[in-house]
A and B are shown apart, each in its own frame.
Chain A
Amino acid sequence: MKVLRLASPLLAVLLVLAVWQLAVSVLHVQPYVLPSPHRTWQALMDDWDNVRSLAGQTVYESVVGFLLGTGVGFLLAVAMAHVPIVHRVLYPILIASQAVPIVAIAAPLVIILGYGLAPKLVIVGLIVFFPVVVNVLDGLSGIDAGMVNLARSMGAGATKIFLLVRLPATLTPLFSALKLAAAYAVTGAVIGEWTASITPGLGKDLLLKNSRLDTAGVYADVLLLTAVGLTGFLLMTILERLSTPWRTRGTARRWFRPSAPRDTKGSR
């Protein structure tokens, strides 16, 4: 069972590769239109040193932008949940910010922030912060009022109630958002590089190869970008499992049992 569960994503990847290969060889597609998986892999290997260092740049932009965007998003959500006026003022602005096409504001961002790292971080941040705000806000407002009342009846102060009751309740929705954001962040970095960059990066490299009709190279870059996005998603999934153990486990992990006099019986 477990083997099957772990193997199934691998099977899915193999299936995609098989369809891809089949399409290329059965339909006799020209390599400059659609290179075969093998050619793509070859292109990736041939250009590995170059592509790897470019990927490092793109990963850097994605990660820093991700941290900034999600961090700001989280703080905004907390502020909005606790101060009604902040909520009323900010919410329409946040919605409007999502209606603005990111590509369209990339150009003015360059004018304001220059061609360096800053506009890319802003673009990544703009893309990732919204799901965080919405989800964390939902988490904070969805808390059982009874739980807060219980805490109040025990004489707890607002800070303790926030730390012990409200904040942990945001973890589940927060991670839903972080998983999305991890995948979006790479997209954001690529858009940033396309519109606002003279510095190298995978997105920039992709454009360059495209203009040279190096289609296999383009696909190689896409493959790498996908891998980066997937890695981010997986990292978030692992982090989620570790920080919200009550969602997937019946009992607390052994190392998270303060004062437990050794384990009695194993369970689940």
Chain B
Amino acid sequence: MPEPEPQPHPQPPRYDPLEPGDGEAIAPTGQGGQMDLALDEAESLERVIPPGPGNPREKARSLWSDAWHQLRRNPVFVLSSLLIVFLVLIAIWPSLIASGDPLQCDLAHSQEGSAPGHPFGYDTQGCDVYTRTVYGARASITVGVCATLGAALLGAFLGGLAGFFGSWGDALLSRVADIFFGIPVVLGGLVFLSVVTSDTVWPVVGFIVLLGWPQIARIGRGSVITAKQNDYVQAARALGASNARMLLRHVAPNAVAPVIVVATIALGTYIALEATLSFLGVGLRPPTVSWGIDISNAAPQIRNAPHMLLWPAGALSLTVLAFIMLGDAVRDALDPKLR
């Protein structure tokens, strides 16, 4: 967490009668400095909302636009966004930084190390590792991002509703999730992906979403169950707030952190899962190039040609890093206690 910029004109904290918890939290405790819990003064100052540009008297912006304001000044957010923009550019136009053809392979160079014009060396088939790593971005990032978004949105939505309303809907959803948990990936992949075949990445994305949502749903359900116990939610209920308002304004922002954490890590595991599916013969089909395929091809050769693993795995790490950082920044921005 970066040190916040000094605020030249601290404004009085805004007060929202619907958020008693928030209102209470701004009372300075004066104890933070003594604690070993990293509650230093600078951070508690952060909770004081800076004035909006050109509108010092702006009143009660929505929580989500608060978050956006917070985000824009967070260097972690800026850095991770730049990284993601770069990765997306590569995914769309790989030829920007790689001139070769990822399918042009010469077996004579099998597993050779780096050579002029081939900085990362060659893989088992004698293909250029650099070109394949660059070209692999498209399929891998599409699979990773779309599958994560799909699973996270579906899981968070269903899990959130189940946790918030409880009762038979919760029971039904949770038991359906239990059945989904029980389906072995290998079996599900072989059945689902041999029925739905296509040359695009979408069947793979769909399958990963199908497999991934129950976990996020359970995480979301768990944190919604905790969040809805909070005083401010009970207070909002007593004040007659609608379910939708309570869920969106009070519960969701306080329950979203674990979902973001799990989703950003899942992004990496989903890209790796695509490799498992390809290894089983049901994942992405050639001539599609992906990091997953290259990583799974390189894994058994680790003793002979570690460079084959290093580059695609490094690219995967970089992507996951970018999204973990983004997730952290978004989570911080959404957490009223950290402001």
Q: Do A and B come from one complex?
A: no
Residues of B within 8 A of A (CB): none
